[in-house]
Amino acid sequence: MTDATLFVTGGSGYLGSRLIPGLLSRGYRVRALARSAESAAVVAERGAQPIVAELVDVSALTDAMTGCSHVLHCAARLREGGSLAEYHRDNVAGTENVLAAAQEAGVLRFVMVGAAMCLLGGPTIENADETWPLHEPRYSPYARTKTIADRKVLAADREGFTTCVVRPGWIWGPGDPQSASIVDAARNGRLRLIDGGRYPIVTSHIDNTVHAIDLTLQRGNHGQAYYVFDDGSIEIGDFLARILAGHGIPAHTKSIPRRAAWITGTIMDNVWTMLRRPGQPPISRLMVALNSGPFLVNDNKARRELGYTPLVSLDQAFARFEKC
């Protein structure tokens, strides 16, 4: 148990709204940034004190963080779509503002939720770890700006101000929006596996991700990043089949070659950009990159430095998977 006040951004999202109850159970007093009345209602329902402010308002953020010893930065632009400038504003400039406010307010520990997918754009991802460089793939404004934000957080570490980044993989579990999209695509006959779904990946169940973040808030070392995953790996096709089975949908076997998927994703990305359509296209180059090769990263560092072990195994998580 702890006795500290913590400021959270992104508290109304899938991860953040599940983090708040866990943090409260650990003894934290939680203030949560809310950028709309809807967000304020969500975080209040979870038990946090809503703080109405914008990421561009460093002064308001500083006031909100005054008296907090910890900041947990989960907010990011992901599914909203938009231009690279919009992603940069939210994911890079927004992170810079939260960092500046935290330092001005005298916060002691700053943890950001990063993304393992920022490894994309380099060599084949097999047995990767924190020594591998992150990349800025041009085809994904999300991954590109998350990499820049990740670097800024780690570079801000100094005496009296510990900064860390937690880098989960595919965050999944009951009600997660990505699984819901897959279930919807399967029900409507639009789901296609890339190269038969034969590539192994690592995943990050919501319960395991929340546990890892809690440990990082307590024990993360100065200027360090930590990958955190479920136990072992699983082929993409098997992972999707077990998600679908949890919703009463038969295993999916329709497949598309990687090259055809990449061409389709490129066209979709360009159409969404040129027409400024909201949200993400049904197929994107980022989606293809994530599902058309192995994505194997180890989390030995988190296990060694944080004492991290998954709270739930893949089998346990699938056994209790609920309908979205």
**CA-closest candidate to residue 161, choices 302, 55, 65, 305:** 65
Bridge partners for 109 per DSSP: 70, 162
Using alpha carbons only, what angle is made at residue 216 by residues 148 and 112, rounded to the nearest 5 degrees?
Answer: 25
Map tokens 């914008």 to a residue: 54
Cα–Cα distance measured from residue 5 to residue 98, given in angstroms and rounded to the nearest whole number: 16
293-to-39, 60, 178, 251 alpha-carbon distances in Å: 37, 44, 19, 20
Positions marked catalytic: 142
Beta strands in the chain (DSSP E): 5-9, 29-34, 49-52, 70-73, 109-113, 125-128, 162-168, 170-172, 193-194, 200-201, 203-205, 224-228, 234-235, 255-256, 295-297
Using alpha carbons only, what angle is made at residue 308 by residues 307 and 311, rounded to the nearest 5 degrees?
Answer: 130
User: Cβ contacts of residue 305 below 8 Å, gap of 6+?
Assistant: 219, 220, 221, 224, 226
What count of other Cβ atoms lies within 10 Å of the Cβ of residue 267? 13
Cα–Cα distance measured from residue 203 to residue 184, given in angstroms and rounded to the nearest whole number: 20
